[in-house]
Every structure is written in structure tokens, then in C-alpha cells.
């Protein structure tokens, strides 16, 4: 046994050994209890970051359940990451002096596909580098044809169940990225802007956005504001920069009487609160900002100007006409920004596909509150139910090329409604149809948009398992209220491992992902997608700040693994980290855990070297009564083992690791080995066997946290053909 543990010389070989011997390959075994986790799919095009290293929680659970004899599946996959990947590719094009507008849709899609494929292998190698026990024979990708087919089927079911609709609503739109976002993807930031008090007909009102004056269709006051009672319901005339116009005065409780003068202008096409007011009062919507972020033809001489420049120019022109009464320069307010490029989002009216969530979220909340889905740590249960309770109809359309194109088709035959308005008619088809399913005649057109990435990933648990073998469908007898039949996936692999055992993920995406998986998963399969949810915290820098490239405080997990070994990084992420709590990451902690790994190796080396002593020097001593040290060591180990199982089964992984750390280093090495050292050196095989037995027991318990060093030591003692994972259940319970 080498005098020093050298992870860089050992770890890659051990991982290859595990793969070669099929220790990570799952199969249907009715004699064993199934335990399954679906890996939250990282971006196929990007390197892993420190947040991805927190997959270690999943590896801990997978390896623990393998050790106790369960049939385990940890299914890997990758996400096409629609807007993020296209954003990266567009930056790539920009460096070449090109843009996405230089290519037709088909060419751009193909080019992004090739771009992703060229980079896709990096992430997979990094997952292996960290020792993750993933079943690579089951690897999935959100752009796999069989996954896309399932996504299409789910959309069709929702459409037939009247849970998908198309409507022109106000959406959060990034004029730079060229796509809309759901309300859950908006990053709100505080900003300081001028607040303009301007003359508005008979009123004076305050606004941050004078440039949207051209789109005003009303002014609003609070119904209880005594100052304006006589004006409610009347029409006023307003002097505009491009002519006079008239608007109605409405009363609405959304107006804050304390804001400005208590009078607000209502611009339904460019403000979410105003949009809601317009719905309540049947106000028209007048769009004056286009999707390129420039003012349109309804703004006269300001047409073509970008929003910021137009705001300054309009404010200046109003001031020159004497219509600006005063300006508050330090007005602080919250604005929605794009989570990708950081620019301010524009609320714009756009026709999109939406999912009705009222019935879906109600059922999801029931599943959580009834205990059919358990949440760990328990404090996250209330958070997740509140997220669901406050969930609005979900915008699933994205105006990008890279992604799963929406399988919806518009009938080009113009249909006039009873209200004498031309209505658009849409139908959904999984396969490209031969003819229009509405009129049977026209040259129908497919929607240009792609699905929101969260829509496809909301189906990840059942879509991955259903596509693991040739999936057939059986129709359940139960039907929805509107007589739409639910279909259930039916193959042995799916039936054995679904619902999955645990969904482990950062608490920061409970809103964006976990809530949606529950809603969509139950709707599609009539089963919960997972029985348990375990949420981990965010990895922050040593000062507790969020890691970001702009701050320059990002730590590369691969660099840590190369410097100190993957095991040291893994246990540094878990040790003394409260379940669900944020982790302030420091390199010093990895160094400390590297020292612990070395201690584990050195303990093994002491025992191994003494076992190599020639047999004639060993003196088997038959003791009529075990020494007090022997008894105390066995008692402590028995208590350690009992506590370990309790912590592991209750998702208290940090406590389980701390237990092993404390026992191995401070009790076993510093106390008991010192107490028994002389007996061992003098040939007392009973003392040596007791140390070996208890050391092996701790190797088993430590293995889920530090798989490489425990496997390396195990093979030193038992031969290279005997993995610590082999015949694991019997060995784990009887060490």
C-alpha cells in the first residue's frame, strides 16, 4: 500500500473499473426494492459550475441505496437550454461579424445543433470526474426524437383538455434577445429614475415613462379618493405632442392614492398593472413600442427611437411646452430585467400559448399537503405550496429557433365571428399533417415559436423513463371531466422505477421547475413524478455572495478536484452544511477535507501493514474476557452505525458525514488505535481483526460521500476484483 494517497493517479482508473463492471447499470429486478433519481439535466453546451457539483447529494443517496441492497437507477441527461444556448451561439456569431438574422430558420437550427454537439462531451466527462454513479447506458437529451414525441403528446393532451389556449396578452419581452419570458424568469432589480410630474388635461400626474403617453387609453384614480369623485366616468381632453386626444377617467382600487398626485395614466399595452385595469374596465390596447424596442408609427416624429432615447426626448419636449411641472430625480422603483442579458424587459402585447394552471396547481398542492410528495427539509413544504398557490397562467411560447418547435398549426381560412371580428383557428398535431384539420383545404402554417425550455423539462422524470425502452401506451379507464382520456406509459422499466424516489435540486428553482414537474407530471401520468423532494442551498463565495463571472468570484469545481481530489471537494460541500442551507465555499475547507481523506488512507495503511506481518509472528491470544477497550470500541461503533442509518434515511447527510469524520479521526485513530497499537505490534490478531472490522464498516458508511478513496482502500485489502459495491447489502449490514 503506497505511503501516500494520490487521487490523480487513482480516481480515473477506479471510475473506469466501475463502468466496465456495470456497477451503475440499472435493471428491473423484482426481488429488490427500486430506488431512482433523474439527474436535473445540465446545459449540454456548457461546463459544469459549482452548483452542479451539488449533484453529490444525489450520488450519496444512490450509493447508499446500492449499499443497502436496493436496485438503483441514476439516469443522466442533458438540456438543450433553449434561450441560453442560442444566446451563447449568437455571441459566437457576433465575433464573426454575423447575426442570427443572416440565416434562415433551418440553417440556424442546424448550425446551433452542430455547435452544441461539438461541446456536449465536456459536461459528461466532468460528471464522471466527480465520481457520479450515473447509468450512462440510459443517457437522455431533451432533443432526442423520442423525448420530443412525448413533449408533443403532452401538449396535445393539454390542448384537448382545454388547458392550453392562445391569447394576446401582455408578456415580458426582451427586445435584445428577441423573445418573451414567463413571469417566473424575470429578475427584478431596484433602479433610480426620474419621476416626471406632468400636466395631463385637467390633472397633474406622475410617471416614470412619459414616452408611453402615446399609448394611453385612460387615466385612473382610486374610487375612494375624494379629490377626484366628480371626474370618475367622464372623458377628458389631453394636449399631446402629436395632437390632442381624449381618454376616460376610471376608478380602480389598484391605484395608490399616495403615489404622485393620486392620478395615473393607463397604458394597457406597456404596463402589467395597467393591462389588468384595462381588462376590468374594457379599455382598448394601443401598442406604441415595437418588438425591436423602438417607438412605432403611432408616435409621430419619435418613430424609430429606442425607448431610453425617446423618454429623454419626450420629457425634454414636454418641458419646453411647459407641461412638466416638476421632476423627482431620485425615484426608486423595481424593474423587470432579462435573466440572460440583464437588459430591462418591455411589457408588450403578443399572441402566445398559455397553460391554464388553476386546476393543475390545485391538484399539486393537494399532493404535497396529503404527503404523497414529501419535502425535505420540511421548511420548504410551505414555500413550495405558496409558489404553487401564486402561480399564474404559464406562457410557454419562445420566439427563438433553438428548441422544440410548437406542433400547432394555423388555419389560413379567415373565419368571421358573431362579433364581426376575424378569428384565427388553430389545431395541434404530433405528426406534420397532410391537410388542415379545421377546413380541410387551406395551406395551413405551423407556429414559428418553440416551447419554453421549462415546458420540456417539466416532463423530464416521466419522459426519460418512458423512452428507456419501446414505450407502448395503455388507456386508463379514468377520464378527465371534459371526457379527455389520460394515457399512461406502460413498459417494465417505467413501471418499475416510476414514480421516481427523489427529486434533488436547488431550492432556487422550486418555482421554475419543481412546481411545474408536479403539475405536468401528474396530469400526464396520473401519478406523482417523485415521492420525495430534497432541496439543497446555493453555493456562495467565502463572503456569502452569489458566485458570478462578473464579480470574478466563481470557483471551478474541476480545478478543485484536480488540485485536491474529487473526494475532498465532495465532502467539503457536505461537511457542516445545514440541509437546504446556503454554503459559503472556501478552498481552505477542501484542503481540510483532503487532510481527512489522507487520514482515512493512513489508518488503512497501518492496519494493512500489520496484516502483512508473517503469520509466525502473529500470536492468537484467547482471552477469557474482552478488554474494556475492546468493549468500548464495539459499543461506540454500534452506536455510530445506528445513528448513521437514522441520519441517512432522514436526509440529514451532513450529520451522517460528521458522525464518520468524528469517529474515524478523533475516536478511532486518535484514541483506540493508540490504545491498541502496542497489542497490534506485538502480534495480537484479535485486536488487529477488531480494528480491521470496524475500519471496513466505516469505509462502507463513508463510501457514498468519498467513493474513490474507500474503493481504493477496499481493493488493497480485498483484491482488485472485489469492489466495495460488490455483494453490497450483505456486507453493509454485517460488517
Q: What is the pLDDT of residues 428-455, one digit of tens each?
A: 999 999 999 999 888 899 999 999 999 9
Mean pLDDT for the stretch of residues 22-45: 95
Higher pLDDT, 656 or 620: 656
In the chain, what percentage of residues exceed pLDDT 70?
93
For 350-389, the pLDDT digits (tens) are: 999 999 999 999 999 999 999 999 999 999 999 999 999 9
**For the chain, what is the mean pLDDT?**
91
Predicted confidence (pLDDT) at residue 615 exceeds the cutoff of 80: no
Following DSSP, what letter does each residue of 90-114 receive, concatenated?
Answer: HHHHHHTT--GGGS-HHHHHHHHHH
Q: How confident is the model at residue 415 (pLDDT cuts 50, 70, 90)?
A: low
How much is the pLDDT for 183?
75
Q: Is-contact 410 444, C-beta < 8 A?
A: yes
Question: Three-state DSSP class for 424?
Answer: strand
Per-residue model confidence as pLDDT tens digits over 61-78: 999 999 999 999 999 999
Lowest mean per-residue pLDDT among 215-219, 381-385, 480-484:
480-484
Q: Kindly tell me the burial class for residue 244, based on how many C-beta atoms sit within 10 Å of its own C-beta (0-12, 13-18, 19 or more).
A: exposed
- Top pLDDT among 29 and 423 is at 29
- The C-alpha cell at 113 is 445543433
- Structural domains in the chain, CATH included, are 179-347 (3.90.740.10), 407-446 (no CATH), 583-734 (1.10.730.10)
pLDDT at residue 477 tops 80: no
Please state, in angstroms and as integers, the Cα–Cα distance from residue 585 to each residue in 370, 504, 541, 718, following that order: 37, 20, 5, 36
State the DSSP string of 563-611.
HH-HHHHHHHHHTTPPTT--EE--HHHHHHHHHHHHHHHHHHHHHHHHH
Tracing cell 408536479 back to the chain, one arrives at 518
For the cut 50, the answer to whether the pLDDT of residue 59 exceeds it is: yes
Q: Report how far residue 448's alpha carbon sits from residue 326's, in angstroms, rounded to the nearest whole number.
A: 46
For residue 377, whether the previous peptide bond is cis, meaning omega lies within 30 degrees of 0, is: yes
Plot region of 27 (φ>0 → left; ψ -120 to 50 → alpha; else → beta):
beta
Q: Is the pLDDT of residue 484 over 60?
A: no
pLDDT > 60? residue 709:
yes
* Residues 464-471, mean pLDDT to the nearest whole number: 76
Name which of 63-67, 104-108, 296-300, 624-628 the model is least confident about. Answer: 624-628
pLDDT at 71 (0 to 100): 96
State the pLDDT at residue 641. 96
Task: Let me know: does 692 contact 607? Beta carbons within 8 Å.
Answer: yes
Q: Is pLDDT of 43 > 70?
A: yes
pLDDT of residue 443: 83
- Residue 480 confidence (pLDDT) above 50: no
Q: Please tell me what DSSP assigns to residue 188.
A: E
- Residue 489: the pLDDT is 65
Which pLDDT does position 617 carry in this prediction? Answer: 52
Classify 723 in phi/psi space as left (phi over 0), alpha (psi -120 to 50) or beta. Answer: beta
Q: What is the mean pLDDT of residues 209-220?
A: 97
Chain segment 141-179, per-residue pLDDT in tens: 999 999 999 999 999 999 999 999 999 999 999 998 888
pLDDT digits 0-9 by tens, 234-277? 999 999 899 999 999 999 999 999 999 999 999 999 999 999 99
pLDDT digits (tens, 9 = 90+) for 567-600: 999 999 999 999 999 999 999 999 999 999 999 9
Average pLDDT over residues 555-560: 94
Q: What value does the mean pLDDT take over residues 517-544?
A: 95
- Residue 181, pLDDT score: 84
Q: 57: number of CA atoms within 13 Å, CB side?
A: 29
pLDDT band at 409 (very low <50, low <70, confident <90, very high): very high
Q: Give the three cell numbers for residue 443.
A: 395551406
Residue 67 and residue 728 in contact, taking contact as beta carbons nearer than 8 Å: yes
C-alpha cell at 98: 454575423
Nearest in space to 336 (alpha carbons), one of 174, 547, 516 = 174
pTM of the model: 0.89
Q: CA-CA distance, 138 to 537, in Å (whole number)?
A: 28
Q: Give the pLDDT score at 542.
A: 87
Local structure of 394: helix, strand or coil: strand
Q: Answer whether residue 472 shows pLDDT above 60.
A: no
Of 176, 37, 45, 115, nearest to 453 by C-alpha is 45
Mean pLDDT computed over 407-424:
74
SS3 call for 263: coil
Amino acid at each position: 500500500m503506497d505511503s501516500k494517497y494520490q487521487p490523480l493517479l487513482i480516481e480515473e482508473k477506479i471510475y473506469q473499473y466501475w463502468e466496465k463492471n456495470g456497477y451503475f447499470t440499472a435493471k428491473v429486478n423484482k426481488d429488490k426494492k427500486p430506488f431512482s433519481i433523474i439527474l436535473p439535466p445540465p446545459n449540454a453546451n456548457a461546463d459544469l459550475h459549482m452548483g452542479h457539483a451539488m449533484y453529490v447529494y444525489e450520488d450519496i443517496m444512490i450509493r447508499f441505496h446500492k449499499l443497502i441492497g436496493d436496485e438503483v437507477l441514476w439516469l443522466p441527461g442533458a438540456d438543450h437550454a433553449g434561450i441560453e444556448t442560442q444566446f451563447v451561439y449568437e455571441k459566437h456569431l457576433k465575433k464573426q461579424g454575423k447575426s442570427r438574422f443572416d440565416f434562415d430558420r433551418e440553417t440556424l437550427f442546424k448550425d446551433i445543433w452542430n455547435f452544441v454537439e461539438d461541446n456536449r462531451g465536456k459536461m459528461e466527462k466532468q460528471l464522471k470526474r466527480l465520481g457520479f454513479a450515473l447509468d450512462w447506458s440510459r443517457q437522455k437529451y431533451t432533443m432526442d426524437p423520442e423525448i420530443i414525441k412525448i413533449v408533443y403528446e403532452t401538449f396535445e393532451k393539454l390542448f384537448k383538455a382545454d388547458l392550453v389556449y392562445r391569447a394576446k396578452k401582455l408578456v415580458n419581452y426582451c427586445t435584445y434577445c428577441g423573445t418573451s419570458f414567463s413571469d417566473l424568469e424575470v429578475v427584478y432589480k431596484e433602479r433610480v429614475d426620474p419621476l416626471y410630474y406632468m400636466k395631463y388635461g385637467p390633472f397633474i400626474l406622475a410617471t416614470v415613462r412619459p414616452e408611453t403617453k402615446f399609448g394611453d387609453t385612460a387615466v385612473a384614480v382610486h374610487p375612494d379618493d375624494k379629490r377626484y369623485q366628480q371626474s370618475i366616468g367622464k372623458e377628458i381632453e389631453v394636449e399631446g405632442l402629436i395632437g390632442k386626444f381624449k381618454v376616460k377617467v376610471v376608478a380602480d382600487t389598484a391605484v395608490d392614492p399616495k403615489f404622485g398626485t393620486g392620478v395615473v395614466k393607463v397604458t394597457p399595452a406597456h404596463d402589467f398593472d395597467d393591462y389588468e385595469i384595462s381588462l376590468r374596465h374594457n379599455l382598448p390596447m394601443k401598442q406604441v413600442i415595437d418588438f425591436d424596442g423602438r417607438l412605432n408609427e403611432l408616435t409621430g416624429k419619435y418613430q424609430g427611437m429606442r425607448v431610453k432615447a425617446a423618454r429623454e426626448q419626450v420629457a425634454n419636449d414636454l418641458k419646453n411646452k411647459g407641461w412638466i411641472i416638476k421632476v423627482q430625480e431620485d425615484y426608486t422603483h423595481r424593474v423587470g430585467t432579462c435573466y440572460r442579458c440583464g437588459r430591462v424587459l418591455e411589457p408588450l402585447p403578443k399572441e402566445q400559448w398559455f397553460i391554464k394552471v388553476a386546476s393543475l396547481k390545485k391538484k399539486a398542492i393537494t399532493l404535497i399537503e396529503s404527503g404523497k410528495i414529501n419535502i425535505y427539509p420540511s421548511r420548504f413544504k410551505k414555500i413550495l405550496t405558496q409558489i404553487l398557490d401564486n402561480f399564474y397562467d404559464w406562457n410557454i411560447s419562445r420566439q427563438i429557433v433553438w428548441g422544440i418547435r410548437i406542433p400547432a398549426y394555423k388555419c389560413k381560412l379567415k373565419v368571421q365571428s358573431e362579433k364581426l371580428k376575424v378569428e384565427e383557428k388553430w389545431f395541434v398535431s404530433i405528426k406534420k399533417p397532410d391537410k388542415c384539420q379545421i377546413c380541410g383545404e387551406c395551406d395551413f402554417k405551423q407556429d414559428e415559436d418553440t416551447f419554453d425550455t421549462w415546458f420540456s423539462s417539466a416532463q423530464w422524470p416521466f419522459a426519460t423513463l418512458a423512452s428507456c425502452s419501446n414505450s407502448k401506451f395503455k388507456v386508463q379507464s379514468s377520464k378527465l371531466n371534459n371526457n379527455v382520456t389520460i394515457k399512461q406509459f406502460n413498459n417494465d422499466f417505467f413501471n418499475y422505477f416510476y414514480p421516481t424516489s427523489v427529486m434533488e435540486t436547488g431550492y432556487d428553482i422550486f418555482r421554475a421547475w419543481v412546481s411545474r414537474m408536479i403539475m405536468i407530471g401528474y396530469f400526464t401520468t396520473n401519478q406523482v413524478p417523485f415521492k420525495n423532494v430534497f432541496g439543497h442551498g446555493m453555493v456562495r463565495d467565502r463572503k456569502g455572495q452569489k458566485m458570478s463571472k462578473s464579480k470574478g468570484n466563481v470557483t471551478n469545481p474541476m480545478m478543485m478536484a484536480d488540485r485536491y481530489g474529487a473526494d475532498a471537494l465532495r465532502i467539503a460541500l457536505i461537511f457542516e452544511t445545514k440541509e437546504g442551507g446556503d454554503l459559503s465555499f472556501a478552498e481552505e475547507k477542501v484542503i481540510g477535507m483532503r487532510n481527512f481523506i489522507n487520514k482515512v488512507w493512513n489508518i488503512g495503511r497501518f492496519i494493512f501493514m500489520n496484516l502483512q506481518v508473517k503469520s509466525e509472528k502473529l500470536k492468537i491470544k484467547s482471552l477469557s474476557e474482552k478488554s474494556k477497550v475492546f468493549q468500548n470500541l464495539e459499543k461506540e461503533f454500534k452506536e455510530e452505525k445506528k445513528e448513521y442509518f437514522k441520519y441517512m434515511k432522514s436526509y440529514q447527510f451532513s450529520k451522517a458525514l460528521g458522525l464518520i469524520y468524528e469517529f474515524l479521526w478523533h475516536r478511532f485513530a486518535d484514541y483506540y488505535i493508540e490504545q491498541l497499537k502496542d497489542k497490534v505490534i506485538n502480534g495480537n490478531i484479535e485486536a488487529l481483526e477488531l480494528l480491521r472490522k470496524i475500519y471496513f464498516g466505516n469505509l462502507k458508511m463513508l463510501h457514498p460521500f468519498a467513493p474513490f478513496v474507500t474503493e481504493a482502500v477496499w481493493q488493497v485489502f480485498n483484491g482488485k476484483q472485489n469492489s466495495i459495491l460488490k455483494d453490497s447489502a450483505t456486507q453493509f449490514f454485517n460488517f
